[in-house]
A and B are shown apart, each in its own frame.
Chain A
Amino acid sequence: MEILQIDLFLFLEKLLLIGGIITFSLVIAMYTTYAERKVAAVIQDRLGPNRAGPFGLAQPLADGLKLFFKEEIIPLTSNKVLFIIGPALAMMTAMLTSAVIPWGSSINVFGRDVSLQIADVNIGVLYVFGVVSLGVYGIMIGGWSSNNKFSLIAAVRGASQIISYELAMGLSLIALLMLTGSLSMKTIVEQQMSGGWGGFLGWNILYQPLGFLIFLICVFAECNRTPFDLPEAENELNFGYHQEYSSMKLGFYLFAEYINMFISSAVVSTLFFGGYDIPFVNETTLAASWGGNIVAVMGFAALFAKIVFFLFLFMWVRWTIPRFRYDQLMDLGWKKLIPLALANMLITAIVILWLNK
């Protein structure tokens, strides 16, 4: 009977927050596709989409509508159940991670402190890892059930890539966790906020530059973004694991990729760039004079700005670097990143011990 004793307002507030964040990430993912095309265009000296609406802003809507109205094709030889589960799983895992990201400090609504984090799990970082690992299944199941050799090759590539890079990612984070001593995302952000210069000197990037670099590279690999986009290599594998997909199921895969990018950017910003910390501003003194709600919104805006920067970085890198060959990919993951991450971990541990002595 414990469950019935949940505060009704808490239930309501979390429901609203979940709805809000899901809508928000969907809209962001939509406009990330637009931004991707625009960034690709300006980097290649083109204009990019500019027909639908002012500056082509209605382009993602048009794309979405098109995907909805396309015919759904389920290949005759495919495994129908898995074929449908694949994109659903990809979308779900992409969304799930957003639950533990602190989108801001708390805002005060009708005398209630509403935290802008869906769940402050004390193993937040582990949760993120778990969910991200589940993301492989979306690719794997989609590629397997399509019953097509290109899709299968792509799925196997994707799975091996994600599993390989997860190791380096985890190792690079262990060094970070030694510093923070906590797995809760909220605590990690609050620790960074308490640093000098209005929190800027507390940012983990200053203490873990190598760890950040490794983490970022692994994030690129986990998101299947160029230079690690082997699972969906258009010119080698005919679009990879979602080759047989059409209509909104394809849309789900494409969307999941962009949501993954968005959430990964949020995770990177949270772990290494102070999350919702506004640099060079002391939030507590500001909150005293301006009111907590305004500062919370500003904090969210700061986090959003960081996320936008990383989204841009994703695109920027995509339109700069060519794809890795498969053996280069494995070489980088196993022979370079993992030893580097181990060394980073060791050095961090030694320095922490040295300073605590």
Chain B
Amino acid sequence: MASLTNRSKVLEQTPLNFMERLYLPNIFKGMAITFSHIFKKKATISYPEEKRPFSPVFRGLHVLNRDEEGRENCTACGLCAVACPAEAITMEGAERQKNEEHLYREEKYAAKYEINMLRCIFCGLCEEACPKDAIYMSETFAPSNFTRQGFIYSKDELLIPDPTTNKEGYEAARGLREAQIKK
């Protein structure tokens, strides 16, 4: 019978020869293979101490960006929320008051900014949509929480550390970002 796909394999059904029936030579062959694996490079790592390097385009949890003076970049334009295919982002805009110039870069800012990490699919479209470089995706991943409510990240969880009060934290977070941009 002609085969339909030409991919079928003819099954070899010759009876085992004497060496194969002895069984032991093949056991020794198998044992040699497992023994050689003792000296192979391990496929696993000790995770919390060692971490595998991320790809430069890795998309982890979001960070809301500030500029060097500690002012929030976000203007609550809503482009990220529109771009989001999972509809994970909600925000409420507010107008900047007279004495708030050191807090917000532009006249409008996000009074409330929430990302539901259970909805988020980490596609990175919000980052692409943002005209103000106000949101980017970090290398933090695998968020954990006890409640569903806890996965709705508000501004305090999302904002990058303020460079005027917590310079080290800001630079650590920025440093990863610079490396990302360079690549």
**Could you say which residues of chain B place their CB within 8 Å of the CB of A50?**
46
Q: CA–CA, A44 to B37, complex, Å? A: 7
Could you tell me if A316 and B42 are in contact, using CB atoms closer than 8 angstroms?
A: no
Cβ of B34 to closest chain A Cβ, rounded Å: 5
Name the distance in Å between A313's Cβ and chain B's nearest Cβ: 9
* Residue contact B35 to A316, C-beta cutoff 8 Å: yes
B31 touching A42, Cβ below 8 Å: no
Contact between chains at B38 and A47 (CB < 8 Å): no
How many chain A residues touch B (CB < 8 A): the figure is: 13
CB distance from A2 to the nearest CB of B (A): 52
Enumerate chain B residues within 8 angstroms of A321, measured Cβ to Cβ: 27, 30
Does A46 belong to the interface (CB within 8 Å)?
yes
Please count how many residues in chain B sit with their CB below 8 Å of the partner chain's CB atoms: 16
Interfacial chain B residues near A44, Cβ < 8 Å: 37
Is B148 in the interface zone, CB < 8 Å from A?
no
- Check A46–B27 contact: CB distance below 8 A: no
Map CB proximity to A onto B21-34 as digits: 1 under 8 Å, 0 otherwise.
00010010011011
B128-165 interface with A by 8 A CB criterion: none
Closest residue of A by beta carbon distance from B43: A45
Summarize A's interface: helix, strand, loop or mixed.
loop
A43 within 8 Å of B (CB atoms)? yes
Whether the Cβ atoms of A316 and B34 lie closer than 8 Å is: yes
The residue that B42 contacts in the complex, of A45, A213, A319, A320, with Cβ under 8 A, is A45
Q: What's the minimum C-beta distance from A334 to chain B, rounded to whole angstroms?
A: 16
Look across to chain B and name the residue whose beta carbon is closest to the beta carbon of A51: B46
Decide: B35 and A47 in contact? CB cutoff 8 A: no
Q: Is B182 an interface residue (CB 8 A)?
A: no
Interface string of A315-341 (1 = CB under 8 A from B): 011011100000000000000000000
Nearest residue in B to A50 (C-beta to C-beta)? B46
What distance in Å separates the Cβ of B115 from its nearest Cβ neighbour in chain A?
34
Assuming the contacts A50-B46, A316-B35, asked whether A45 and B40 have C-beta atoms less than 8 A apart, the reply is: yes
B44–A47 CB distance below 8 A: yes
Judge if B41 is at the interface, Cβ distance under 8 Å: yes
Please determine whether B46 and A42 come into contact, CB atoms closer than 8 angstroms.
no
- Complex Cα–Cα for A50 and B45 (A): 11
Per-residue interface assignment for chain A, residues 20 to 45, with 1 indicating a CB less than 8 Å from any chain B CB and 0 otherwise: 00000000000000000000001111
**Cβ–Cβ < 8 Å partners of B24 in chain A:** 213
| Minimum-distance CB pairs A-B, first 6 | A45-B43, A320-B34, A42-B38, A43-B34, A320-B30, A46-B44
Known: A45-B43, A45-B44. 17 other contacts (CB 8 A): A42-B37, A42-B38, A43-B35, A43-B37, A44-B37, A45-B40, A47-B42, A47-B45, A50-B46, A213-B24, A316-B31, A317-B27, A317-B31, A320-B27, A320-B31, A320-B34, A321-B27
18 contacts between A and B (CB under 8 A): A42-B38, A42-B42, A43-B35, A43-B37, A43-B38, A44-B37, A45-B37, A45-B41, A45-B42, A45-B43, A46-B43, A47-B42, A50-B46, A316-B31, A316-B35, A320-B33, A320-B34, A321-B27
